[in-house]
Amino acid sequence: MRQFWIFLKREWMEQVRGFKLIWVPLVFIFFGALEPLTYHFMPQILESVGNLPDGAEFNLPDMTGGDILMSLTGQYQMIGTLVLVLAFMAALSGERKSGAGTLLYVRPISYAAYFTSKWLSASLLGTLSVWLGYGMAMTYVIQLYDRYPDAGSIMRFLAVYSIWILLVITLTVAASAALPTGGAAGAALGILFIGQIVQGMFGSHWTWSPWKLPEYGMAFLDGGPETGGLTGAVAVSAVLIFLLVVFGSVAARRNASRAKV
């Protein structure tokens, strides 16, 4: 347990001094602000960009606050995933490559403490960044939009979507334990995006799929999910996260010999 705290303190130090604590939240906050602003000021933006023929008229959809949050979620599903994978793909593999891990692995460390400290700090940072992003979006939504979901719905949405984010981060850190940095990024992105494609094509029957979590979450912004698959999907995801943490700890131990000496 003591090793876990020492490792966690080190992770915190690294996030602060490596500025990860700044730039990861900033990216999410940036997109969180951009989404409500662009939609709200779309007519003015189009006008100032100009070059529209006289008499051109657009019927812009009447966006509600809920629509903005869903559209933002769409952004986070692409760019957010990419940012999280980029931020944490080298969590373990980087230490093997630089050789800095070597001097940890020759000590009587628990690889479970080593891995879980990395997993926990990445999860906290990633989830917090996403929350801040939605917080930023809501700040503008409240000011600029007439209709928006109530706090309870948003909380429920965030709770479900956070599980998805946790899954993304856990997968990335576990991949970093098992593979070199490039391979880890490729594997994590591949699994996430291919899963989404497969989900889109054949997923209608498998309601327990973790890839359905964002969809279920967003349904809370629009009256609540229609299927009873949410509990199942959350359960499957929780088991998956647990298994990935175990896998990551084992992989970290097995790969210690790959550290540069």
Q: Which residues bind another protein (CB under 8 A)?
A: 2-3, 6-7, 9-10, 13-14, 17-18, 98-100, 102-109, 256-257, 259-261
> Which residues in 132-144 are b (16+ Cβ under 10 Å) and which e?
bbbebbbebbeeb
Of 14 and 222, nearer to another protein (C-beta) is 14
CA 23, 28, 29, 31 dihedral sign is positive
Q: Which helix (H) or strand (E) holds 3?
A: helix 2-17
Of 147 and 258, nearer to another protein (C-beta) is 258
Burial class (CB in 10 A: 0-12, 13-18, 19+), 99: exposed
Of 76 and 119, nearer to another protein (C-beta) is 119
The position carrying tokens 């705290």 is 5
As measured in angstroms, the least distance from the Cβ of 67 to another protein is 42
Of 147 and 254, nearer to another protein (C-beta) is 254
As measured in angstroms, the least distance from the Cβ of 88 to another protein is 17
> Distance between CA 244 and CA 250 in Å, rounded?
10
As measured in angstroms, the least distance from the Cβ of 219 to another protein is 43
Of 3 and 71, nearer to another protein (C-beta) is 3
As measured in angstroms, the least distance from the Cβ of 112 to another protein is 14
As measured in angstroms, the least distance from the Cβ of 83 to another protein is 21
As measured in angstroms, the least distance from the Cβ of 89 to another protein is 18
Q: Are 76 and 133 in contact (CB under 8 A)?
A: yes
Q: Please give the distance of CA 214 from its chain centroid, rounded to a whole number.
A: 11
> Distance between CA 129 and CA 133 in Å, rounded?
6
Contacts (Cβ under 8 Å, ≥6 apart) of 55 = none
Of 113 and 192, nearer to another protein (C-beta) is 113
